[in-house]
Chains A and B, each alone.
Chain A
Amino acid sequence: MSSRSAVYLDFNAAAPLHPRVKEAIAAFLETSEFPGNPSSTHASGRKAKAILGEARERVAASWKVRDADGLLFASSGSEANQLAVLAGRGRAPKNGKDVWVLSPVEHDSTRQLRADWEKAGGQALEMKVDRNGVLSFTDEIEEKIREGRVALVSLVWANNETGVLTDLEPIAKACSASGVPLHVDGAQAWGKIPINLSTLPVDYFSASGHKIGALSGTGVLWKRTGMPFHDPILPGKQEKGRRGGTENVLGALSLGIAASHSDPAAFEARCFPLRESFEAKLKDGFPEVRLHGEESRRIANTSCFHFPGFTGASLQIALDLEGFSVSSGSACSSGALEPSHVLTAMGVPPEEALASIRVSIGTSTRAEELDSFLAALLRLKVRAQKIPGRQAPRDSVQRSPV
């Protein structure tokens, strides 16, 4: 490959391993006391089990939960989301609770559970999202809550694509007051804003490891004491019977270390000024740019915007070829990009959504990297302006869409 040394601006997809995590992994690999299978009762097994326990304590401390036993390690944030929904809502309506409330800007892993619920006779009601990405209950949802028909509310705290923050407290309190269980997808919030689950009435909280500098392939779910957890995808004796299969000990270790070093205050202090300066220069240099969710409260590291002049997802590809890793839409199974459902839900036209890109930075991002990114955008804009209008397809054969 030609020397395309990438500037990495996609921290919302995955953050680089935290330096302390790297050290902990190295120590794990080098240790003379081999950590075995956590289910074994011998010394080696106890060693592994202790690693899991310590990791749980570290995550509990990061989220300020008193009960670390409510924490369950999973393979990913996606799995944690699905475990939460299946536990909180069930697979099919029962006891007259047939409504699942979710938002139209949820992660795919949550949205995917909609069809089965509806097939089982349930109703899925989506919250309203305005053009700034702000979520609120519809009248119908409030009515169902009053009628006691809501099995679970699932919502994302910080949106992965726009960075828009949901004002969680009033929603959580309203759910709590009505006895409606609440599942919060905290994947993008963790490490970026303070999390205090001892004061916030949330019942299920899911997150993933690689967003905060742990290994990818790690996720974690917390459930409040007393909340049901009876529907494992993979039955087994591990994780107190909540999830089968030998635990990913190294993954959990990395998660715990990353949790202990996640520091929302430092993150914001570092990222916010960089992001503000970047957006100011972006708007100044490219008045045609449209920033999504700009007027809303957002996590400090995310800018999502439409940049005209490119068709489909070409801008993201062109930027990659220039050496900049940013994201655009979501990849379908073939790897082709589709318009982001988050943006289309906010009223962004699909073509604009597909041609929008997300820049998400981290504490290691340097101001010069963002400046060189802006310079690349300018080069691409100039290039796009030189593209001749292509001749229309030959038209003597009548065509109509299928």
Chain B
Amino acid sequence: MNRHPFTAGASSEKPRVLVAMSGGVDSSVAAALLLEAGYDAIGVHLQLWDHGAANAEREGGRCCSLVDANDASRVCDRLGIPYYVIDASQEFRTHVVGNFIDEYAKSRTPNPCAECNSHIKFDFLFRKADELGCELVATGHYARVLHDLEGGPARLLKAQEPAKDQSYFLYGLTQEALKRTLFPLGGMSKDETRAHAVRLGFANAAKPDSMEICFIGKEGYASFIERHAPDRLLPQGQIVTLDGQVVGEHPGLHHYTIGQRKGLRITAKDPGQYFVVGFDRAKNQLVIGPESKLYRADLQADAMNWIQDLPESVEGVEEECSARIRSRHDEAPARVRRLPGGKAIVRFLDPQRAITPGQAAVFYRGNEVIGGGIIAEEGLPQ
């Protein structure tokens, strides 16, 4: 594990690090490795969402249940480090769940995990870290931070193991946060992490990874949104082809995302060749078309966060990069231009499939994240 430059200081005091612990195996091992590396680790479990009755029982893939809080607590007991549960449910409700619903209500497809990392795991957590006298914050994410020994800008890198890389979700971290952030698992594979968990005797060593959106249960995201914002959703409407032909009815635009093929009840011939290609919100119509209409070569992003500022002289100059437009997208070569007002324009060398407003676009140079933002609205395909 790379040492943080803070540990290089002459101070005999161990640097105190706040470890965000979900109760999963990754953050548990992260805490243990920090402790072994000589940090004064304290475990903090953020209570983000109340799952109600389902709370007390183990249900795979969802976090924030009592079971998870209890797993985190047991790991800390085993490590002999202090452990606290901090309620962040109000912040989570506003910044993550509220945004999630707003975005779907606007027929966009949000990425709540990236929002959560920016607003909760870092903004909120750093405030707590300051109050608790923690110089550093650590999580079990698979990504790496390179700290500058001279105090210069920190760099955000992909994880060593491409299969587990989570840097896409971390593009929103500011310099202020990165300089104080540790990702102890950045150089490790999941197998190595599990091996550590077994070595450490953690009860959660075999716990499955969380895969789904943590605040959405079995009901699925569409009925979650209907339950929380019934008055902000458009009613059912028509499904039309790009040439305006009505071919079916949709139960509400929030059920769909760009590029979706499943769940289209249409009366066209050869229905399997149709995909969602856009939304006509003025007419409350879901627009479908052939797969070829999903490809575009450019996008605009806003709410940009650049990991490092460029000198003003080069603002507006195109930078070569590779861009990722959703978490499971193979990043594609592109040129990105930084614009004022937190915007960016991206041109791909080759057109990309299903560029989806609301998703994060993250830009890399090699293994390094240079920045990211939210994909802005696009018109309908021509």
Contacts and interface: CB of A to CB of B under 8 A. Distances in A.
Interface of A: 1-2, 4, 310-315, 317-318, 320-321, 331-338, 383-384, 387-388, 390-391, 393-394, 396-402
Nearest to B119: A393
Contact of B118 (A332, A388, A393, A401): A393
B169 interface: no
A337 B87 contact: yes
Contacts of B84: 317, 320, 335
B42 interface: yes
A1 B131 contact: no
Contact of A384 (B119, B131, B374): B131
Contacts of A318: 131-133
Contacts of A320: 82, 84
Given A335-B84, A399-B102, 7 more contacts: A315-B131, A335-B45, A337-B87, A384-B131, A387-B127, A401-B93, A402-B97
Contacts of B69: 334-335
Nearest to A334: B69
Contacts of B118: 393-394
Contacts of B284: none
B103 interface: yes
A312 B131 CA distance: 10
A321 B130 CA distance: 13
Interface string B61-100: 0000010010001000000111011110000011101110
A321 B85 contact: no
B128 A314 contact: yes
A336 B66 CA distance: 11
Interface string B87-129: 1000001110111011100000000000000110001001110
Contacts of A331: 85
Contacts of B73: 335
A320 B43 CA distance: 13
A391 B281 CA distance: 34
Scoring A310, A320, A388, A397 by chain B CB atoms within 10 A of each residue's CB, the highest score goes to A397
B305 interface: yes
Given A2-B40, A311-B131, A335-B73, A402 B229 contact: yes
Contact of B85 (A310, A336, A400): A336
A1 B81 contact: yes
Contacts of A388: 130
B352 interface: no
6 contacts: A1-B82, A332-B47, A334-B45, A393-B123, A397-B302, A402-B93
A317 B42 CA distance: 11
Identify the 4 closest CB pairs spanning chains A and B, nearest first.
A335-B85, A336-B87, A314-B131, A396-B303
Interface in B309-339: none
A391 B174 CA distance: 10
Contacts of B99: 397, 399
B342 interface: yes
A336 B49 CA distance: 12
A391 B127 CA distance: 11
Nearest to B68: A334
A336 B98 contact: no
Contacts of A332: 47, 87
A402 B101 contact: yes
Contacts of B40: 2
Contacts of B126: 390
Interface string B242-279: 00000000000000000000000000000000000000
A286 B119 CA distance: 33
Contacts of A390: 123, 126-127
B55 interface: yes
A401 B94 CA distance: 5
B14 interface: yes
B58 interface: no
A399 B123 CA distance: 16
B132 A317 contact: yes
Contacts of A387: 127, 130-131
A383 B133 contact: yes
Scoring A310, A333, A335, A400 by chain B CB atoms within 10 A of each residue's CB, the highest score goes to A335
A336 B133 contact: no
B120 to A, nearest CB: 10
B55 A321 contact: no
Interface string B32-59: 0000000010100101000000011000
Contact of B87 (A315, A321, A338, A401): A338
B280 to A, nearest CB: 21
A393 B174 contact: no
Given A311-B131, A335-B73, A397-B99, A402 B85 contact: no
A24 B20 CA distance: 44
B127 A400 contact: no
A321 B133 CA distance: 9
A4 B14 CA distance: 14
A354 to B, nearest CB: 9
A399 B174 contact: no
A396 B103 CA distance: 12
Nearest to B80: A1
B207 interface: no
Contacts of B55: 333-334
B103 A397 contact: yes
A338 B87 CA distance: 8
A398 B85 contact: no
A400 B126 CA distance: 23
